[in-house]
């Protein structure tokens, strides 16, 4: 298992990943419990060490039980390049990445059967012209909306990490995002803005958008999505700080239930200097909201 796999982390491990000690050169604000004062040497991560230390120890030494379901986001049917018969996958439109075969003959037909049963439970006639191929189309659409499970961070980044002596903020904003609410299986969509302060390494800009794609094309909760994106950027380039803001519209709230059509949900994750230094955070927020 790659040490990059943010999707392998459960909630506790995600939280550990955003521990302040994982950020080089972030300004240490003395914490209220005062424990940091002597231990500074131990706590400041030396830039040469790979990130994140705690996670490495956590993941690498852990032996996975047979119940691989314990990890959220772990595909049950690992769909890999070696799965026979899937060299030509029309599923993903990412031509740069190797085709990740995500469709298997049985998967589509199983899901299509479920959808066909759903259609008849609703009282519709699955044999009328408009609905004849709907189960297959709906199955393919659902597999597309969850293709993020097949993609790993390493593949998406594709080595686009460059050495550059730049330590000012880099921000890619208003990246559109489409995800699936894991509670109602109804889409939620919105915009993601990511900012980071590089520490000797910068990331190809489209890779930030690809990171968003990987984690958004899953059954998600907006809070977890924000955190996973932030941790992924951290693991990729080990910056001084990362900030992620997501502004989303949840169809589960807009088209059913409370029916609040104008409502938006905003979540953010601030790591490293963005968390410690209020001026940096303010600069980021100003740039996000500027035209």
Catalytic (active-site) positions: 181-184, 222, 250, 252
Residue/partner pairs of 206-210 with CB below 8 Å, 24 or more apart: 206/160, 207/156, 207/157, 207/158, 207/160, 207/236, 208/172, 208/175, 208/233, 209/172, 209/175, 210/94, 210/156, 210/157
CB 13 within 8 A of CB 3: no
Q: How many residues bind other proteins (CB under 8 A)?
A: 57
* C-beta neighbour count of 211 within 10 angstroms: 26
How far apart are alpha carbons 241 and 208 in whole angstroms? 15
291 is a contact residue toward other proteins (CB under 8 A) = no
Stretch that binds other proteins, among 25-33, 108-116, 162-170, 230-238 (CB under 8 A): 108-116
14 is a contact residue toward other proteins (CB under 8 A) = no
65 is a contact residue toward other proteins (CB under 8 A) = no
Comparison of 54 and 184: residue with beta carbon closer to other proteins: 184
Collapsing DSSP to helix, strand or coil, 33 comes out as: coil
Q: Which of residues 240-259 bind other proteins (CB under 8 A)?
A: 251-252, 254-256
* C-beta neighbour count of 265 within 10 angstroms: 14
Query: Nearest 5°: phi and psi at 209?
Result: -65, -35
* The pair of three-digit structure tokens given for residue 165, joined into one six-digit string: 């002596």
Applying CB under 8 A, which of residues 38, 41, 65, 69 lies at the interface with other proteins? Answer: 69
Stretch that binds other proteins, among 151-159, 180-188, 194-202, 276-284 (CB under 8 A): 180-188
Q: Which of residues 129-148 bind other proteins (CB under 8 A)?
A: 130-131, 133-134, 137-139, 141-146
For 169: left if phi > 0, alpha if psi spans -120 to 50, otherwise beta; the answer is beta
Helix 105-121 / helix 134-145 crossing angle, nearest 10 deg: 120
Smallest separation, CB 192 to other proteins (Å):
14
Applying CB under 8 A, which of residues 166, 221, 267, 283 lies at the interface with other proteins? Answer: 221
Smallest separation, CB 188 to other proteins (Å):
10
Smallest separation, CB 86 to other proteins (Å):
15
Return residues touching other proteins (CB under 8 A).
69-70, 72-77, 79, 93, 107, 110-111, 114-115, 117-125, 128, 130-131, 133-134, 137-139, 141-146, 149-150, 176, 178, 182-187, 189, 219, 221, 251-252, 254-256, 261
């Amino acid at each position: 298992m790659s040490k990059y796999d943010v999707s392998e982390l459960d909630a506790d491990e995600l939280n550990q990943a955003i521990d302040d000690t994982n950020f080089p050169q972030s300004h240490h604000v003395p914490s209220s419990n005062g424990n940091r004062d002597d231990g500074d040497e131990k706590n400041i991560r030396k830039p040469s060490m790979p990130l994140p230390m705690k996670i490495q120890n956590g993941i690498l030494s852990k032996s996975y039980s047979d119940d691989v379901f314990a990890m959220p986001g772990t595909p049950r049917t690992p769909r890999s390049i070696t799965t026979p018969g899937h060299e030509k996958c029309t599923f993903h439109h990412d031509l740069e990445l190797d085709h990740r075969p995500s469709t298997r003959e049985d998967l589509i037909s199983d899901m299509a059967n479920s959808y066909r049963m759903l259609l008849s439970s609703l009282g519709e006639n699955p044999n009328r012209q408009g609905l004849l191929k709907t189960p297959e189309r709906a199955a393919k659409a659902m597999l597309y909306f969850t293709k993020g499970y097949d993609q790993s961070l390493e593949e998406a980044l594709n080595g686009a990490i460059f050495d550059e002596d730049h330590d000012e903020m880099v921000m890619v904003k208003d990246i559109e995002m489409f995800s699936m609410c894991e509670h109602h299986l109804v889409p939620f969509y919105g915009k993601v803005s990511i900012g980071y302060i590089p520490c000797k390494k910068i990331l190809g800009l489209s890779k930030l958008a690809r990171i968003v794609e990987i984690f958004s094309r899953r059954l998600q909760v907006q809070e977890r999505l924000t955190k996973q994106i932030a941790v992924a950027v951290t693991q990729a380039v080990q910056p001084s700080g990362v900030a992620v803001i997501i502004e989303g519209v949840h169809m589960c709230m807009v088209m059913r239930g409370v029916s609040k059509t104008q409502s938006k949900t905003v979540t953010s994750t601030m790591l490293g200097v963005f968390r410690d230094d209020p001026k940096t955070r303010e600069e980021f927020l100003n740039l996000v909201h500027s035209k």
